[in-house]
Structure 1
Amino acid sequence: MEWHVDGAASWLAFPTNLHFIWGDDHARISAEVAVFYIFTKISVDMYAGAVFIQLALRWNIYLAIVLLLVITALYTVAGGLAAVIYTDAAQTAIMLAGALTLMGFSFVEVGGWSALMEGYSLAVPSVRVPNSTCGIPREDAFHIFRDPVNSDLPWPGVIIGMSVPSMWYWCSDQVIVQRSLAAKNLTHAKGGSLLAAYLKILPFFAVMLPGMISRILYTDEVACADPDLCKQICGNSVGCSDIAYAKLVMELLPSGLRGLMMAVMIAALMSSLTSIFNSSSTIFTMDLWKSFRSEASEWELMIVGRVFVLVLVVVSVLWIPVVQASQGGQLFIYIQSISTYLQPPISIIFLMGCFWKRTNEKGAFWGLVIGLAIGCVRMLLDFIYPTPPCYEEDTRPGVLKYVHYLYFSILLSVITLSVVVVVSLATEEPTPEQISRLTWFTRFDPVKPKEKLEEVSCQSNDREPQRNNEHMDEHKSSCASSVSSTSSQSKWMSVIYWLCGMERRRQGDNNPVTPPAFEQNICSLEEKPTLQYVVNVNLIISLSVTAFIIGYWA
């Protein structure tokens, strides 16, 4: 795939181009993103995949994780990025077909819509801790807008506190942004985002409702309320709700479809891991390592990237017990809580950088530092004082007991916003060159041709002036020795090159390709009227469907 930066990509790539505006703060953001990947992506994906393998094969969860990692490594080396792209598309179609099929089997098994509504409130496990609320379904389980004070998901927090971290993922996470940058033009990028929006509506029906049906059908397992019994069922004493969907797959689907669904879901998790590994490796080597070693060679960057991925894997595996035991064993709640502790500062800075031209490096830096410090303190307190089981008294500090994590997200966003505004106004204003084509208001600025860089290669040495003959002869000798060294490589070295993702060079391939002359790109923010109309209509349809679902379940 050939990457380019045209009119659309230059402002869509705002998160990856922060260094044009804020200099070294881009490295600081990259470090924070790498931490996010450990807490919210790699560990979660490993754990989710291991749960499926454990349920299907009855293996120890850590053995399942090792197997998942080994297969992922082979899959990445053998297929590469192209395989990931093509299999993602195929897996999405198969997963949707399998999920909708499973939804149909689930509703047939439970007895229809009315049986779901009536049966969920009666799905109480037979073994419970006496004199407690453990295992009893919530009365507001079918409501989106729940009590703002006493509920598990207060409605102001759902609307605002959950939306702010979502902006980080959908607008500035490299895994998402790089797919927008791969679009041919702005219309294609919009169409891809709208397709994702449509697909995000389906899990409400194809994942969430079947999960509730799973509690009705397998109440004593999915909704187990006794710690010892939960430990026997799923190996997690705080609860087994994470196995709800996997339980449906294993119990309801026919053998062939069950195997296909399991294979596709595990393959999708592996594909997600490869994308995350690729993104995190790129972030660390290009944004962090090169800031310390600007002259690092390609080999060095390759090795550092592989080692960093290995470190990420080790730390993520060590973090899995925390994922397993956090938030009463509810994986979704764990993801949301960690997101609200760490992601709001970047979301606020992203929005300020896009829509306020006065935002500068110092404002972004102090907003990140203060926001991340406060978020980390809350996260550490949450791990030190975990939510007590339903049969124990809540003796946590007041900041944990009375400030819901969704409300904390709002508070953290306001603090970060205040710091960015105050510091930016108190310091120098960014120059027009620093924000050209990187904010909403400067996205139509004309593209300025870049200065051509002089290229030195073995092929062009003979055309250099006579005064550089000695230097050129030395360079030719170096190139010739490189060719000779390459040609003498053994087959084992070729295998090592392949495993490391480095192609073995042949004689004559050492000459770097001189980049073509700069050509003025046509601003791809200018869309074709017909396609723009189609995209806008689909946007209205998507928003209407979302509004209906929220209003119906409010």
Structure 2
Amino acid sequence: MHIHWIDLTIIISYLLGITAFGVYVGRNSASSSSNYFLASRSLRWPTIGLALFATNISTVHLIGLAASGYDQGMVVGNFEWLAPFLLILLGLVFAPFYFRSKISTLPEYIEGRYGPTSRTVLAVMAVIGALFIHIGVTLYAGAVVFQSFVDLDIIYSILVISALTLIYTALGGLRAVVVTEAIQTVILLIGAIAVTYFALVALSDMGITSLDQLKASAKPDQLSMIRTEGDYSWYAMLLGYPILGIWYWCSDQTIVQRVLGAKTERDAQLGPIFAGFLKIMPVLFMVLPGVIAYVLFQEQIADNKDATLIVMIKELLPVGLQGVVIAGLLAALMSTVAGALNSTATLVSIDIVKRVKPDVEDHKLVYYGRVTVAVVLLLAIAWSTQGEKFGGIFEGINQMIAVLAPPISAVFIWGIFWPRGTEKAALYTLIGGFLCGAIVFCLDFPAVSGLFLGNDEAGNPVRFFTDQLGIPFMLQAWWLFVISSIILIVVSYLTPKPEQAVVEKFCWKSPLLVLTEKPISGITDARIMSLLLIAVMALCYALFI
């Protein structure tokens, strides 16, 4: 043990308590597939916003953002502060169509827009994304935390936290997931704020009491959100992030399933915008502490940047509070894994099983969903054991998103705004774009690239795109999106136009209708709140340019 018994008691009590509570609130969820997968479409906007935030802010973020703040600086915060603009896109552009069509999954929307074959392909891609990105990397990040405080092999750490999450996710469905996520969000934020507070106190004890003094003690430009070169240059972020964001925030089942469970269209729109306001906090309470850690603990952390947050917890927090913060880390892990497991269960049951067996009984869909949860979790556990080869937790997860997202983003954004997009064009785009992305990933992921390209003189695997062509992963995402868009546009013009009824139901007639379709209902109208969010984000950027 590397942890006080009081902290360990807090952690164990929390884990057992949240598991029991999740099982309790979801005890009747198996009564129907709608109740199990979409919480009977009863979610209000505060719950949706909190659930979106909790599913997004995983242990990967808590550890990865602190590590990237230590290594790269505040520029990594662009991943958080650009997200509100994509959440506005979800709330104003995509949510109305999702809600009005009463879909259960996003592949179901794609079937309406492009046909059944594209639906199947997207469902498979979504399950792959949940397995490798949302669950696999997150389990590894959580195991790193657990192993840092308890002498337990990393595979056993993964198994412990996986088993607890599996119990209430499989039994309780989406209702158990979103209710526990709301609680876990509070715990997570308490932990992040506590680390930041004690870090600032430690800075003050060193005589650093102003932003200018912190800038002088940190690396050059470590407190700037804007870079002119490198992986996080302003143009790479401007071109690449929207591609990642359209997939992640607007067309990924794991995230959008909370919106699909909305009670009203207003809830479906305001929930994402509320989450956009919440996304302001990670830069201040997760990235900034990483910068402070560089000033305080550079010698202890050295080159092991993923240990940044763990070192801060051990060095700064008193007994008792350490347990709360670690519970927050595990809360973040369980939120993300639970949400991803529920979404994969929905995808397999609704988009695959029900299409293969149209007459399948409703309770059988819940059964297949539970089996899916167990199988996907086992596969994710196997993948998570490769976590040390990611080259940094936060970078690793975004590199995977950068090669999966482009074809999906292209199909959705062109599909909802461009009526000419056709069924075959979407199919060829999804398959062609996915294959291109898979090739890029294999050539750029160290665990795989070494098999093809060998090792350099130091024995490190050669990464084709980063080492030889020098293309940052954000620009990889942009160019893969360009290729996917070209495929979609060319094939669309070579194939017959879609039926007018399809276009009218699943496309905006004009982009301006997003803003003008309905009269403004008051200050809480989604459009007014979106303008307020944009103004707040402009002020935030002004402080850290």
TM-score (norm 1): 0.72
Matched, 1:263 2:263: no
Shift of 1:65: 0.5
My pick for the range that moved more, 55-64 or 542-551, is: 542-551
Q: How does 1:457-536 map to 2 (within 5 A)?
A: 526=518, 529-533=521-525, 535-536=526-527
> Relative to 1, partners in 2 of residues 1:323 and 1:62: Cα closer, same or farther, differing over 3 Å?
same
Shift of 1:72: 1.3
Task: Note if contact 2:231-2:473 (Cα within 8 Å) is conserved in structure 1.
Answer: no
Q: How does 1:325-340 map to 2 (within 5 A)?
A: 325-327=389-391, 330-340=392-402
Shift of 1:432: 2.1
Matched, 1:141 2:193: no
Matched, 1:427 2:495: yes
Tell me the secondary structure at the aligned position of residue 357 of structure 1. Answer: coil
Q: How does 1:368-379 map to 2 (within 5 A)?
A: 368-379=430-441
Match of 1:152 in 2: 231
Q: How does 1:349-364 map to 2 (within 5 A)?
A: 349-364=411-426
Q: How does 1:215-230 map to 2 (within 5 A)?
A: 215-224=294-303
Match of 2:313 in 1: 249
Tell me the secondary structure at the aligned position of residue 207 of structure 1. Answer: helix
Match of 1:411 in 2: 479
Q: How does 1:237-386 map to 2 (within 5 A)?
A: 240-298=304-362, 301-327=365-391, 330-383=392-445, 384-385=448-449
2: CA distance, partners of 1:391 / 1:7: 53
Deviations 1:442-489 (A, max 9, x none): 8999xxxxxxxxxxxxxxxxxxxxxxxxxxxxxxxxxxxxxxxxxxxx
Deviations 1:186-223 (A, max 9, x none): 33333212211111111111000112222333323423
Q: How does 1:63-82 map to 2 (within 5 A)?
A: 63-76=156-169, 79-82=172-175
> Relative to 1, partners in 2 of residues 1:321 and 1:155: Cα closer, same or farther, differing over 3 Å?
farther
Tell me the secondary structure at the aligned position of residue 436 of structure 1. Answer: helix
> Relative to 1, partners in 2 of residues 1:78 and 1:299: Cα closer, same or farther, differing over 3 Å?
closer
Structure 1 residue ranges without an equivalent (≥5) = 122-138, 225-239, 446-524
> Relative to 1, partners in 2 of residues 1:162 and 1:443: Cα closer, same or farther, differing over 3 Å?
closer
Shift of 1:73: 2.3
> Relative to 1, partners in 2 of residues 1:251 and 1:80: Cα closer, same or farther, differing over 3 Å?
farther
From 275, 283, 291, the counterpart of 1:212: 291
- With CA pairs under 8 Å and 6+ residues apart, which has the higher RCO, 1 or 2? 2
Q: How does 1:61-100 map to 2 (within 5 A)?
A: 61-76=154-169, 79-100=172-193
2: CA distance, partners of 1:340 / 1:527: 38
Q: What letter corresponds to residue 498 of structure 2 in structure 1?
A: P
Task: Note if contact 1:344-1:413 (Cα within 8 Å) is conserved in structure 2.
Answer: yes
Determine what percentage of the aligned residue pairs are the same residue. Answer: 28
Shift of 1:348: 1.0
Match of 1:18 in 2: 110
My pick for the range that moved more, 285-294 or 52-61, is: 285-294
TM-score (norm 2): 0.73
2: CA distance, partners of 1:205 / 1:425: 47
> Relative to 1, partners in 2 of residues 1:544 and 1:37: Cα closer, same or farther, differing over 3 Å?
same
Task: Note if contact 2:184-2:335 (Cα within 8 Å) is conserved in structure 1.
Answer: no
From 127, 131, 138, the counterpart of 1:38: 131
Match of 1:492 in 2: none
> Relative to 1, partners in 2 of residues 1:532 and 1:526: Cα closer, same or farther, differing over 3 Å?
farther
Deviations 1:22-60 (A, max 9, x none): 222111001001111122110122112212211222322
> Relative to 1, partners in 2 of residues 1:258 and 1:312: Cα closer, same or farther, differing over 3 Å?
same
Deviations 1:93-127 (A, max 9, x none): 33223322321111111234445323333xxxxxx
Match of 1:128 in 2: none
1: CA distance, partners of 2:101 / 2:212: 49
Match of 2:215 in 1: 117
Match of 1:167 in 2: 246
2: CA distance, partners of 1:313 / 1:52: 19
Tell me the secondary structure at the aligned position of residue 440 of structure 1. Answer: coil
> Relative to 1, partners in 2 of residues 1:115 and 1:12: Cα closer, same or farther, differing over 3 Å?
farther
Paired residues, what number? 439
Q: What letter corresponds to residue 152 of structure 1 in structure 2?
A: D
Tell me the secondary structure at the aligned position of residue 59 of structure 1. Answer: coil
Task: Note if contact 2:107-2:120 (Cα within 8 Å) is conserved in structure 1.
Answer: no
> Relative to 1, partners in 2 of residues 1:370 and 1:364: Cα closer, same or farther, differing over 3 Å?
same
Q: What letter corresponds to residue 521 of structure 2 in structure 1?
A: P
Deviations 1:172-196 (A, max 9, x none): 1122222223333333333212211
Shift of 1:527: 6.3
Deviations 1:386-436 (A, max 9, x none): 698997899543675322221111111111111101111111111122233
2: CA distance, partners of 1:343 / 1:528: 33
Task: Note if contact 2:173-2:342 (Cα within 8 Å) is conserved in structure 1.
Answer: no
Shift of 1:154: 2.6
My pick for the range that moved more, 361-370 or 303-312, is: 303-312
Structure 2 residue ranges without an equivalent (≥5) = 1-38, 43-94
Match of 2:48 in 1: none
From 449, 459, 464, the counterpart of 1:397: 464
Q: What letter corresponds to residue 141 of structure 1 in structure 2?
A: Q
* Structure exhibiting the larger radius of gyration computed from Cα positions: 1
Task: Note if contact 1:11-1:439 (Cα within 8 Å) is conserved in structure 2.
Answer: no
